[in-house]
Chain A
Amino acid sequence: MRPDLAIISQWIAPGSRVLDLGCGDGTLLVHLRQTRNVSGYGLEINDAKIVKCVANRVDVIQADLDAGLAHFFDANSFDYVVMSHTLQATHHPDRMLDEMLRVGKQGIVTFPNVGHWKNRLQLALHGVAPRSRAAPEEWYNTPNIRLCTLRDFEALCQEKGIDILERTVVDYAHRANVSSHFLPNLLGEIAIYRFCRGCSSP
């Protein structure tokens, strides 16, 4: 399993209800079901991944995230709403965060950190839009249309009154790297956040 999913799993309390937005083939939900007795649903738009979810016995809803969640989910339906490697591909990440916290008590996101030093070097030295192992596509065909740095993300959270409960960064192989704890915005390739709004206990 992808190590970022392993980290997310550790953050999720056993027996809780989870909504996984952009759930892919359902790996995270399968893992949570097997190891943490977690129930929940996945949302996915891709046809092939829908088939894989069904084959993995994951309850999946085929829908476009950009259309919002109101069509399917009431407020406070889930303990956690997870978005791994998807936030940066939505049209309105800011509204998406609001939706996540409307539907769930806590949100968990992972995204490629465009502030990673290699990205900065590509732009500064070569004058080209950064491409990375975490976001390898060309600027004209990348699904990642809303790239941000850790600092950008945290500024948005502050502006929206969202409390960050936990943060970690990992490298491309999703291994937590000791040095990245000191300069996460420079050394972290992938950011992982857990957050809520106005929840007292972390």
Chain B
Amino acid sequence: MPESIPSDSVGLVTPRSADFEEPLPLESGRVLPRFSITYETYGELNEDASNAILVCHALSGDHHAAGYQSMEDRKPGWWETCIGPGKPFDTNRFFIVSPNNLGGCKGSTGPNTLNPETGRFYGADFPIVTVKDWVASQARLADALGIRQWAAVVGGSLGGMQVMQWAIDLPYRLRHAVVIAAAPKLSAQNIGFNEVARQAILSDPEFHEGHFYEFGTVPRRGLMLARMLGHITYLSDDAMRAKFGRELREGKVNFGFDVEFQVESYLRYQGQSFVDRFDANTYLLMTKALDYFDPAREYGDSLSEAFRHATAHFLVIAFTGDWRFAPSRSEEIVRALLDADRGVSYARVEATQGHDAFLMPITQYLQVLHAYMDQVAAELA
């Protein structure tokens, strides 16, 4: 619980929901007859609706990107480092919109919401949604909010992928694209990790083929394993060594399979607490969206050809300690943008934190982001 809310926080926030009655055709060929999107906003939309920023969340993220939903909250939103008064995404200057993606589990239409056609939870019947589908649904939200063109679309990891898709699919609806710790498509290794995570969930007897809500169960073990695995890939070897080393909880080995090393304790804690806040079906969907993401596919497998459709100016940021989406992956994006002759700046930030670095207060990262967003704000004046 925050004793008092820090002055550089957006403070107490309340999520809202927007309903869309017009059917949304999905990339899979299926159609979502109607849907709602839960979202938060920070700051004020200016008169000509030119100061709006769309924040796209990553795999386990949601619409709660900044501030506190109640005074009982232990932690602020997931991108509190970057969103707030005086921060890079400065709420004194920008109107920030942060939606929960379709297929999510925090209010937007997804597996844990009711299917209006059957009156039952969607569960496994929820269609597989892609990054492209998210962009299309977020565009409907922009319409509803009266935002014709975003000043910037921003995001890290899977969020960064949405940013690229926005720039390619709806070029005239954004002026700037900020792509952080992302990749132009997943590697076989990335997909491999996702598949192990999915198998952990799918093979949990409590999963009931995705209809566990009706059985009153939760595939806790599967989701926990998926999260533990994911968490290892978000941290760097250095970060784990620095944080845990080989420290033992009781100072000695017990020759058993209970938690002995601190790192085991940490991973179990991360896994268990994740189960309480996340949905197994959503985890499956999000990992699939990651696996399928490949904006070049529509353009003869040429990413630069895809980016030729973009008109936004890009900022690409990568972190040296990130091995899940290493700088070389961001450099593929930069290379394609250069080949397409697009405006782009690229910062390769020294950081040991691993993939999670994009959530951390790393000075160089925040300075680059700040300098860039200052220029975005200057265009508004």
Chain A residues near B (Cβ < 8 Å): 41, 47, 50-55, 57-63, 71-74, 77
Contacts and interface: CB of A to CB of B under 8 A. Distances in A.
Contacts, number: 51
- The dominant DSSP class at the A interface is mixed
Contact of B375 (A50, A55, A62, A72): A55
Interface of B: 315, 331, 334-335, 338-339, 343-350, 364, 367-368, 371-372, 374-375
A63 B371 contact: no
Contacts of B334: 61, 72
Contacts of B374: 55
Nearest to A53: B345
A21 to B, nearest CB: 14
A73 B335 CA distance: 7
A62 B334 CA distance: 10
Given A55-B375, A62-B347, A74 B315 contact: no
Most chain B CB neighbours (cut-off 10 Å) among A52, A57, A73: A57
Nearest to B318: A62
Contacts of A50: 345, 347, 364, 368
30 contacts: A41-B338, A47-B350, A50-B345, A50-B347, A51-B364, A51-B367, A51-B371, A52-B371, A53-B345, A54-B315, A54-B347, A54-B368, A54-B372, A54-B375, A55-B371, A55-B375, A58-B345, A59-B344, A61-B334, A61-B344, A61-B346, A62-B346, A62-B347, A62-B348, A63-B348, A71-B335, A72-B334, A72-B338, A73-B338, A74-B339
A54 B331 contact: no
Contacts of A58: 345
Contacts of A41: 338, 344
B371 A54 contact: yes
A51 B371 CA distance: 6
A97 B368 CA distance: 30
A61 B339 CA distance: 13
A41 B340 CA distance: 13
Nearest to B317: A62
B345 A59 contact: yes
Contacts of B347: 50, 54, 62
A17 B117 CA distance: 58
Given A51-B368, A62-B348, 17 more contacts: A41-B338, A50-B347, A50-B368, A51-B371, A52-B371, A54-B368, A54-B372, A59-B343, A60-B345, A60-B346, A61-B344, A62-B346, A71-B331, A71-B335, A72-B335, A73-B338, A74-B339
